[in-house]
Structure 1
Amino acid sequence: MTRLPEAEWTRREDLAGLVAALGAENLRWVGGAVRDTLLGGTAKDIDAATTHRPEGVIELCRDAGIRTVPTGIDHGTVTALLEYGPVEVTTLRHDVSTDGRRATVAFADDWREDAARRDFTINALYAHPETLEIADYFGGLDDLVARRVRFIGDALQRIREDHLRILRYFRFQARFGDALDEQALAACRDLAGTLKELSRERVAMELLAILGLPDPGPTVELMQHCGVLAVILPEARAAERACLVALLAHERAQNAAPEAVRRLAALIPPVRALAEAVAVRLRLSRAQRARLVCAAERTPEDAADPRGLAYRESIDCARDRLLLAGKSLRELAHWEVPQFPLKGGRIIALGVAAGPEVARMMRAIERSWVAEGFPGPERIDALLEAELAAR
């Protein structure tokens, strides 16, 4: 019997309290924390499966002094708010009906039945909270060793249940895969068109998750080969995919952290209107949209004055544009965008009437200040004096 290696999270006192409240035989750790710990990585979110119904979880936790939030109670999920981080506790389930976007579920009592509705074998590993023994119903342990991402049961059926599993496959393949599972690839290829039926937010969430991985280049090419990329991002032609490859290499050379929106910018032509259209189509947040559009407005002149670019746009946009252009980030390293020190009130105090003239003088002095590399107060005084004299 394979046991989960002891990790920092398995020794958490607050988790022991949750186990005591629900009973060790009624609860199993499942999902990413189990998978990542078996791979020697660090667990992020802790998820649990339980035989208790949601109302029972709430009542037992309340009796133990543990606060809960019914985050997905219709689907059996209650979040326990523990000292060292929340834990999602979900009642064992099986699917009653699915339509590719949402599922109607019924609660179950059998661990294997619950495992059968999950997506990949490596995500269906259950660990006993006390003995740490692993229950593996579909060969997930062997797939972890082989670095193989494989759907549970029939891949076509799994995708028909939830079309987003196509993108989840490519994300997990990028993270954990080595050998390719031909059945999975064929199913993704055959059902790629079903991605059009999903909400744009769900598609964007998975696409950005893929692009935010350390090296999404090979996965993006695999998605293109399987006809998936053309469905969700038809703008990503061969030239744009080559731009992404070049960006990834330059990011590594510059020790730049992965940034999904910057990489999305590489996958679309640098045209403002097109970037805005993609942002709307993917329902990006306001901040993500602004960053994508700013990156799309890059020009060959950006590298001439990186700090001026950062001042005019933002430090993030300047980094994005420089990296997309294959330029150095040296001038922006350990540098903070300064605040323009001159206030309009000072100009008014020197006899200039409040209004457009003050604004014009402020803009003129600010342009000179930026062009000269953000000099100190004495230079601001000189620039102000020159503007006053010119009047």
Structure 2
Amino acid sequence: MKLPPAAWQRREGMGALLNVLGAGEGETRFVGGCVRDTLLGLEVSDVDLATRLPPQEVMERLKRARIKAVPTGLAHGTVTAIVAGAPVEVTTLRRDVATDGRRATIAYTDDWREDAARRDFTINALSTDPGTLAVFDYFGGEADLEARRVRFIGDPLTRIAEDHLRILRFFRFHARFGFGAPDAEGLAACVARANDLMALSRERIADELMKLLALPAPAATVALMVEAGVLRPVLPEIEEAARLARLVAREAEAGVEANAVRRLAALLPPDPEVAAAVAARLRLSKKAAKRLTSAAVPDDGSPAPVLAYRLGSDEAVDRILLGPRDPAKARALAGWERPKLHVGGGDLIAMGLEAGPTVANTLQRIEASWAEEGFPEDSEAQRAIARAAVDQALRERQ
């Protein structure tokens, strides 16, 4: 089989990079996702190269050719070449010397099959000669691609023992590329070794889970994971996936872009304390943790613009889509910009209020009334709302 010609193969500077790395002499090939996705007719964003050249020689060749080289993972054989402003990862062929489920000790090799054998799934072990576009397939990856089957290379239990994250990757790749039921042997191994996930850093678990949830249609795969108890060792709060399936459908109905944090919220009980605990356990960013916790609060039915003004448009969309109301209300917030109230504390003091807590309280009352009236932009309308609130505050102080 040959790789179909594609635009990414002709990117500016790609030919020069391949020449520098000896692709014409068989030293360097396209590898991994760019090969897989091109065979599937999918768009390719990241290009990876594998090479027989040692990392230091890669660095030296790139330097002599005046191609920027970044030693992003030099200890593991990876150098990033910057070609026309875009990164291309170049990794020396490797074999595993020792593994402990979290990291591997590697040695370099010049054997393409040996390097392919350390990859996780057959569909990820394909490589291509850049000159002839001939595809090298050592483990049946082409047939698995055609069948839309995600299958471990070799014994699944052994591959999971080498890197426990492969449990989650198995399900993510099935959700993205698989068709029908998952490979039975791989599924059984993932279920049997689910407790191995507890040995992983929570950051790695969160990264893989969020990639899965961001896929176009993850609900059926996540439901399978829940049913099989795969997530229970690290996320026992997730007991069902029905709300996720409902959310995915409502996102599509509303024409709203998928969001992994929102989808994680759909898997959790609607309880802010639970959401905060999960966010802390997964070590989510402050922004993601705040959004997850906010999404756990039930929608109070406020008009969509009012909700957006109070929470921000993203969090408002989350509550609407996770709640009972028409998802079209979320669509209405697309491109929403926060309106500006042109009344401040100095204006209220000029109207007769004394500086102090009363000013802040009155401003809050003004904002609430302004929101109820649909956020009028007209300055006179805003001042009329402010005047009424100030008059009320003055009466209350008498």
Q: Show the 5 A alignment for 1:215-226.
A: 215-226=217-228
Shift of 1:330: 4.5
Tell me, yes or no, if the aligned pair for 1:29 and 1:48 is still in contact at 8 Å: yes
2:13 corresponds in structure 1 to 14
Whether the aligned pair in 2 keeps the contact of 1:188 and 1:226 (CA below 8 Å) is no
Match of 1:379 in 2: 381
Tell me which residue corresponds to 1:201: 203
- Supply the AA of the counterpart residue of 2:22: G
1:387/1:222 CA distance change after superposition, 3 Å = closer
Secondary structure in structure 2 of the residue aligned to 1:167: helix
Aligned pairs, number = 386
**Higher mean Cα deviation, 252-261 or 38-47?**
252-261
Partner of 2:238: 236
Distance 2:242 2:12 in 1: 49
TM-align CA RMSD = 1.3
Paired residue secondary structure (1:332) = coil
Partner of 1:286: 286
Partner in structure 1 of residue 120 of structure 2: 119
| Range that drifts further, 68-77 or 252-261 | 252-261
Give 1:323's aligned residue: 321
After TM superposition, where is structure 1 displaced by more than 6 Å over at least 4 residues in a row? none
Higher mean C-alpha displacement, 9-18 vs 27-36: 9-18
Give the counterpart letter for 2:292 in structure 1: L
Which residue of 1 is the match for residue 99 of structure 2? 98
- After superposition, the Cα gap between the structure-2 partners of 1:359 and 1:225, relative to the gap in structure 1 and judged at 3 Å, is closer
Give, in angstroms, the shift of residue 332 of structure 1: 2.0
Structure 1 residue 181 corresponds to structure 2 residue 179: no
Look up the SS of the partner of 2:232 in the other structure.
helix
The answer as to whether partners of 1:247 and 1:326 remain within 8 angstroms in 2 is no
Partner of 1:311: 309
Q: CA deviation at 1:232?
A: 2.9
Deviation per CA, 1:40-68: give whole Å up to 9, x if none.
Answer: 01111111100111110000001111011
Q: Secondary structure at the match of 1:359?
A: helix
Residue equivalent to 1:137: 138
Alignment correspondent of 2:337: 336
Structure 1, 355-364 or 129-138: larger mean CA deviation: 355-364
Match of 2:266 in 1: 266
Residue identity in the other structure for 1:41? L
- Structure 1 range deviating more: 209-218 or 323-332: 323-332
CA contact (8 A) 2:97 2:107 kept: yes
What are the superposed Cα offsets for residues 162-208 of structure 1, whole Å, 9 maximum, x if unpaired?
00000000000011111421110111011111000000000011111
- Equivalent-residue separation in structure 2 for 1:152 and 1:337 (angstroms): 52
- The 1:45–1:330 alpha-carbon spacing in structure 2 relative to 1, beyond 3 Å, is closer
Contact 1:121 1:143 in 2 (8 A): yes
Cα deviations by residue, 1:46-98 (Å, 9 ceiling, x for unpaired): 11100111110000001111011110100000000111510010000000000
Deviations 1:105-140 (A, max 9, x none): 001111001001000000000111111111111111
- Separation in structure 2 between the aligned mates of residue 331 and residue 341 of structure 1, nearest angstrom: 24
The C-alpha deviation readout for 1:352-377, integer Å capped at 9, x for no partner, is: 44322221221121111112111232
Hey, what does 2:27 align to over in structure 1?
26
Find the counterpart in structure 1 of residue 298 from structure 2. Answer: 298
Q: Give 1:256 deviation, angstroms.
A: 1.6
More displaced 10-residue stretch of structure 1: 38-47 or 332-341: 332-341
TM-score, normalising length: structure 2? 0.94
Alpha-carbon distance, 1:351 to partner? 4.7
> 5+ unaligned residues in a row in structure 2: which ranges?
none
Partners in 2 of 1:13 and 1:368 — Cα distance? 57
1:341 deviates by 2.1
